Chain A
Amino acid sequence: MNGMSRIVKTVSRWVAPFIIAFGIYIALTGHLTPGGGFPGGVIIAGCFILLTLAYGKDRVKKIIGVGSAEIVDSLASLSFLCMGLLGYVFGGSFLSNFIQAGFPGNPFGLLSGGNMPIINLAIGFKVGGSLFVVFAFLALFRAIEED
């Protein structure tokens, strides 16, 4: 699969960091505005899919590759589980909001959610990584080997 024309390549290279920042913003303020972990993750994956469509599969396989996406995926889910176990240790039950008990923060502020922004960010990276892995296996690796 070849890439697209030079205009598409240039514009998508400039816009990509903003898309990732927008995705992280939606994931991080999930307790205040609509959104949360899952839509933020889909936007992050959408950015990488845009880069794949613009540049063609050979360059993307060399530069980004599937292995790093799988590592990000597993690390994000393990950090979600660690937040749950930390809630067990500090707060008394699994997934309890121990940060909010300690630092309440102002209402409607960013820090008022306790461990909600951290969990939303972990879910965002996990969903982004998973969707990119699914897309990569469907589109990038055409000749799947027989075994």
Chain B
Amino acid sequence: MFTYLLAFILFAVGLYSVINKRNLIKIIMGIIIMEHAVNAFLILIGYRLSGEAPIIEEGATVTEFVAAAVDPLPQALVITSIVIGLGVVALMVSLAVRIYQHYETFDITEIRKLRG
């Protein structure tokens, strides 16, 4: 379980930042950190001790490859997840720029036109 400890600590740091910080940019950074933590966790799941990269060389057989290689499926999942994270962060930053133009501040305790 020690190998996954770093990913969980990063996730907790990101979650703390989203919940407790008052600056909009720090909330955005918190979400970015959480997504990176989950991507790291996904790759670590496919890891095998002293494994090799999952690329077939010339003249290798399939059974040797399966016995030695790291799992390639989480790597494909992580590529997709990184791109999804990119889209969400681009949208968040554009909205933060617009909020600054309307409200002149990044502090979430002052951006409260909607109540009730």
Contacts and interface: CB of A to CB of B under 8 A. Distances in A.
Contacts of A144: 98, 101
Contacts of A38: 79, 82-83
Contact of A137 (B55, B83, B94): B94
A131 B97 CA distance: 17
B83 A127 contact: yes
A34 B83 CA distance: 16
Interface string B31-62: 00000000000000000000000010010000
A138 B97 CA distance: 8
Interface string B58-101: 10000000000000000000010011000000100110011001
Given A108-B58, A144-B98, A138 B93 contact: yes
A137 B94 CA distance: 9
Contacts of B93: 138
A123 B98 CA distance: 29
Contacts of A71: none
Contacts of A108: 58
B58 A138 contact: no
A101 interface: no
Given A108-B58, A144-B98, A144-B101, 12 more contacts: A34-B55, A36-B79, A38-B79, A38-B82, A38-B83, A127-B83, A134-B90, A134-B94, A137-B94, A138-B93, A138-B94, A138-B97
Interface of A: 34, 36, 38, 108, 127, 134, 137-138, 144
7 cross-chain pairs, A with B, having the tightest CB-CB distances, nearest first:
A134-B90, A38-B83, A38-B79, A138-B94, A108-B58, A138-B97, A138-B93
Interface of B: 55, 58, 79, 82-83, 90, 93-94, 97-98, 101
